[in-house]
Amino acid sequence: MQSFRSELESVANKNGKAVVEKDIVELDKKIRLFREGKMDEEKFRSLRLARGVYGQRQQGVQMVRIKLPYGKMTLAQWNRVADVSDEYSTGNLHLTTRQDIQIHFVSLDRTPELWAELDKDDITIREACGNTVRNITASDSAGIDPDEPFDVTPYAHAMFEYFLRKPVNQEMGRKFKIAFSSSEKDTALVFMHDLGAIARTKVVDGKEMRGFKIVVGGGLGAQPFLAITTHEFLEEDLLIPYLESVLRVFDRYGERNSRHKARIKFLIQKIGIDAFNELVAQEQLALTHQQYKIDVSGEWSVVSKSSTNGQLTTHLLPSDSQLTIDPFRFQLWKNTNVFKQKQENYYAVYVRVPNGNISSHTSRRLIDKLKDVIADDVRITINQGLQLRFIKAEHLEYVYSVLDQEGLGAAGFGSVADVTSCPGTDTCNLGISNSTSTALVLSEVIEEEFPEFLYNKELAIKISGCMNSCGQHGMASIGFHGSSMKAKGQILPALQVLIGGGVLGSGEGRIADKVLKVPSKRAPDVIRKVLNDYKTNANEGESFLQYSHRNGERYYYELLKPLASLETLQAEDYIDWGQEEKFVTAIGVGECAGVMIDLVATLILEAEEKIAASEECLAGNKWADGIYNAYSAQIHTAKALLLQNGVQCNTQHGILKDFDTHFSDKGLYPAGNFKSAVMRMNDLAPSEEFATEYLRQAKEFIEFAKVFREQSVLAEK
């Protein structure tokens, strides 16, 4: 480990542009400070999460989330992740609904080294967790979708690059999720995101313009909200400036004390969308850019790693006569897992990955066997599968045979049988009951008892281990989330049933209704009752979304009520799916404890770190970012002084007001109105002159705070 540290610090010191190396060195140093009891546990958790390192249910190990913008990875990147999983984890790659990859059971002390290995193929874990802009998701068909007005990939990629390490989104009150949909079908589910964008075009003066429908304030969890439209058409060059304005408002006005109320959806609900839009407009002048041109000239749809003039190499492929496949199963797979791209003569293949878990060994075998017939562009889908693209028709049988040999040839991708689930109690601290084993059981029920639903891609089953909806149960046709029930003095695993969620298109959706709770072992019977009822009673051509909406919550309550009865429980009902022991409700083991230290001193130390970051920005002519870091330094310092005086702090906006109330108005701060001085950042456009003067103001304020704190400590002695 010491040789790794020395090597990395040497690289970082020699290369002034080695931002990633500096990040890794910083993580390593913070881990050591935490281990030595010199960093507060909560502050370390915040820093760790912002670098993709998440505590697990099991004591002493971490989950590392690997950030893959819009789910894209090259074959080299896929191979790199597989190798890293073997070396630092368990050899399992978990594909998530956010198009990330998670690996589990990682030692905290080895995470910097792990990150350095990933960076060799330009893979990051930065801001994959924490109160940051999370992985930006997009339609997996972006770039090849016959219905798309244009490819959203370069826009999603530009947004990822622009906001990575951006000062405004490093320490927000809560996470911020963004999605791009390639067409009005809204395959990225923008209606359930903090900010969503749908590709659109319009003709102005005879010229076609690109833009996006924009929605904000969506989210699932215990209190789901549908996103609200703010723009029917936002010009492409205004996309990134608009998001920066939204993030600045969220950072300043968002809740920070109660995490359950800290998402942007609650801020909009509290102040109203009109007031929110006004606040966003007030940030305009202070932005880094008033317009931001995104380069779309690059070739985003690369045909193949091994192609020459568009022709794939095939000399190593077996002939059709050498393939051993079941014609019936192949045809079923082809009908449900393959679609024709907008590029002539090419097809994309979807791969069902049960629970999103694929081994490193399987990954490497797929890469080796398929590298000559697929593009160097693999996408992770939002239902935890894979998409392979730019496949010739004559290679489909070969691709199927390879997938089938690896146990990944199941038909029905995106169908009722393709059940989405989060890891639940397998690894998550918040999991209540098992979601992964339940998902596998429900998939079997569909495949064995309802095979006709392998063709139904409108009806979706989704499961989460708790109410937080990582498995997206809140917008499922049939959703479940983990819970518990008490009967005869014992606790048994249970599932909350939700019915009637779905995608309406064009940024609109429907949240599922909570119906009732049932013992977990009765989940298959819930599926049987609901699907048989739909098959028997729906009108001809009526979708499940239409049918469930027509019937309503009470209808399903009466339909499923017998399954909720606790009078006929069997011994097996007290054992969760995939388990052998009786069920007990338990949150995961807490993360490593650290010695509590002076929070006020920590805040001032962080303020000084923000000053250093501001100076670095100014040295690189990044005036707006330098100003924002100086702003954050003043907020941290003001919070420190307020806490020292026993004033509890919440939003940044509240800190500005409270400081004037408790300091400026009482003559304790001689420089005048603090809020007015700080918020000058919104009154003047970013410039070298203002950035330099504003940084000076921040430095002087920190010096004032240090003196004030020292005098207060002496007065108490």
Residue 64 has what pLDDT?
95
Residue 78 has what pLDDT?
98
Q: Are residues 187 and 257 in the same domain?
A: yes
Task: Give the end of a domain, one of 558, 574, 590.
Answer: 574
pTM of the model: 0.91
CATH number at residue 638: 1.20.120.330
Q: Domain span at residue 372?
A: 320-405
Query: Has residue 411 been placed in a domain?
Result: no
Query: Has residue 176 been placed in a domain?
Result: yes
Backbone φ/ψ region at 95: left (φ over 0), alpha (ψ -120 to 50), beta: beta
Helices (H) and strands (E) in the chain, counts: 21, 22
DSSP letter at 165 equals T
The long-range contacts involving 548-556, CB below 8 angstroms and separated by at least 24 positions, are 548/477, 548/499, 548/500, 549/500, 549/510, 552/513, 553/499, 553/500, 553/513, 553/514, 553/515, 556/497, 556/499, 556/500, 556/513, 556/515, 556/530
CATH number at residue 507: 3.30.413.10
CATH number at residue 325: 3.90.480.20
Residue 312 has what pLDDT?
44
Residue 709 has what pLDDT?
86
Residue 58 has what pLDDT?
84
Q: What is the pLDDT of residues 638-673, one digit of tens each?
A: 999 999 889 998 999 999 999 999 999 999 999 999
Q: Are residues 75 and 214 in the same domain?
A: no
Average pLDDT per block of 10 residues along the chain, 717 residues long: 54 55 88 85 81 86 95 98 97 96 95 94 94 96 97 97 95 95 97 98 95 97 93 98 98 90 95 98 96 82 46 48 82 97 97 97 98 97 97 97 96 96 80 88 96 95 89 94 90 95 96 96 97 97 97 97 93 88 61 42 88 96 97 96 91 96 94 96 96 97 92 65
Residue 423 has what pLDDT?
84
Query: Has residue 413 been placed in a domain?
Result: no
Separation between Cα atoms, residue 171 and residue 115, nearest integer Å: 21
Q: Are residues 114 and 172 in the same domain?
A: no
The tokens for 219 are: 């989210």
The long-range contacts involving 549-552, CB below 8 angstroms and separated by at least 24 positions, are 549/500, 549/510, 552/513
Query: Has residue 225 been placed in a domain?
Result: yes
Structural domains of the chain, count: 5
Q: Are residues 67 and 9 in the same domain?
A: yes
Residue 407 has what pLDDT?
96
Q: Are residues 115 and 10 in the same domain?
A: yes
The tokens for 32 are: 């050591």
